[in-house]
A and B are shown apart, each in its own frame.
Chain A
Amino acid sequence: MVKANVSSLTPILQATGVHKRYGATVALDDLCFSLYPGEVCGLLGENGAGKSTLVKILSGIVVPDAGEIALEGQAYQPHNIVDARTRGVSTAFQELSLIPTLSIAANLFLPKPKVNAIGLVTIRAIEELTETILKQYAVFDVSPSTLVGDLSLGLRQRIEIVRAMLREPRVLLLDEPTAAIADREWLFGLIESLLARGTAILYITHRLDEVRRLCKRCVILRNGRKVLDAALEDMTDDQIFSKMAGRSVVETYPIRESNIDEAAPPVLAAHKASAAGVNDVTFRLRRGEILGLAALEGQGQSSLFRVLAGLVPLKGGSIEVNGEPVRLRSARSARATGIILVPEERKTEGIFNDLSTAANISIPIINRAARFNFIRNRKERQMVERGASRVDLNSRYLWPNINALSGGNQQKAMLARSLLANPKCLLLFDPTRGVDVGTKQIIYQVIRKFAREGGAAVFYSTELDELVHLCDRCLVMYRNAIVAEVRQEELTPHLLLSLAAGHKIDAYGTA
């Protein structure tokens, strides 16, 4: 896709001296930058570097403490979303802003869906309008009356993006748009058509390959300050990361020396397992092995993980742990056999946001730190600090409420919690989603170390190169069934993507 040629005409959006602090922490410090029409400007930075705060200021959710912003020459201080939208700025948020209990049509046109004479929302009219819009934005085979809550995470993200683009914005802010989408070409196509119309796009992501492909220019933030605003061609990945992290961090993957124990019975095996959203899944997982799982969104991978974690009852077939068939009636019974799930959505299924980080980590095995059921603080603290050190989580984050921590640190706490329950088999569902580069590195190392020490892991990720570099073997799921198995030597991102998209390649077909 050819990069739009940035004409050197006046910028459409100009921010000077933007400053924002929450109590003592400085979220944005004296930020100056500008956006040019018809240009995609990348915005990079670790979690907590101020990216989301900038997006919130530009979209009117948060008011800056100081600084001016000019949009098309006039002063721009939106104090809510609707203001921003009327001035031509719209946003696709990282934390999806769709209402699960309302239909796609309703969500697209909130807060002011079209109403008839007596003030009633014309449901049929907006659903027909939505039908054409979905076609126009190449989102097929989903009826506008479906409740957003019934859609897969990926589809929800697409609807969020469509809604942001729907209003012909002058400035479009995309915050981690591809976090849950596997087919990124769809997005790049749309971006290309918007650039042609002179829209300025601010593109926030963790994925360098996307930034290199879309953006000519990129701004890097660290601790609220702009540390780089330049073209990317002449910088290597490592230079970009060191700019972001302030220390040299190489996005390399730990060297993989697999010590798969062939002799022992498989730690976890499924034989023709089927349940709601899973048809006839058969696979084997051996000690010391990291089994990857590739799939586009909504192909039943989430249901498979829930079946293995005992959250969804098995309808047919069987599951064996260490060779013996086992009945997983509940999450408790699954955990008792050593199967520990690191859940999909941290916010709704992971953290206890009223408890401290230490309590979040120690909760599954709190009884071990208690005598006659009374918790001994010293013992709990030792346990938690041991767990935290395994995921390199600084001990000063252990005591405040977990909801005061950044996304990356919260994910480290989730991992520490799972490891403390000394699992035999870890089920990792997209553990690196919405996490900064530094934390990703730590997660890779932890998984590798866990496998080396004799654990087994099932690892689903939307980032194909993670699967390629980390896994000993990779399965591909398509329409609730395992359609392919690829050995480590032949693993490449393109192969996985084509298999995941449903192309039959008999060399890798499962029996």
Chain B
Amino acid sequence: MTQLILFNVTNGLIIGAFYVLMAIGLSLILNLSNVINFAHGGFLVVGGYLAYTLEPYLGFWGALLASPFLTAILGLAIERVLIRPLYGRDPLYSLLLTFGLAFMFEDGTRFIWGAQGKPFTVPDFMAQSLSTEFFFLTGYRLFMVAMVAVTVTLLFLLLRFTRAGIRIRAGTLDLDTVSALGVNVRGLRSLNFGVGIFLAGLSGVLAGGQLGLEPTMGAGLLMPSFIAIIVGGVGSLIGTLVGGLLIGVASGLTAVLLPSASEAVIYVLMAVVLLIRPRGLFGEEGMLT
């Protein structure tokens, strides 16, 4: 039993790491632009399928690199044309717009690549278990965790030490002041949106290697990311990080004790957090409330 719990905690962290990658992109956009990006799952799917299409030409590694960039470019174009006019209007509108985009992405993917699921093959050496004892630690899953760790660390360094990063963080806290200091807020939001969508695209490639590709895969991954943000506290990227890992472990542990509740448990976790600490674990007082 102890071994089972140890296994499931480790396993939960691996799953949680994936939620983190997706949720952090979502969180970046929410914090600076006040947009709940419902189409985030759609971008994830596009990222995955682009990698699938590119793999025959560029190989796995090439696709892994190229696809998130292409997804980010698509994201920037959409931000420029559709979302930018909505800044400053009631958040209702950007929410509905991305909600509609999510439909269009799912159906567009089905139209272009077909309803039939596609396998996305990863290099053979990663597709194996590393040890017979810890059989659930495959090369690919560890690679995924490493990718998440590197990406998130890089992101935090960028936010801390580059000028744009510092401005993004400042804008999250008080956009008016940042704007008054003469910072180009539109450009900042575009950049930030692009980074968020890049992360969605990367999540898509990684998820594709783990699960294969289906047009509907984005919607299912969106909700855990939402919960990660709410549990961690809106406005805090560290919170999102912790929130993502936490719900991964929580659903892993529940799978041992009460398997059929393993998805519902993340909602229970959220409800408990909201009751005890309404602003989330790392949320700032007054932030967006």
Q: Do A and B come from one complex?
A: no
Interface residues of A (CB under 8 A from B): none
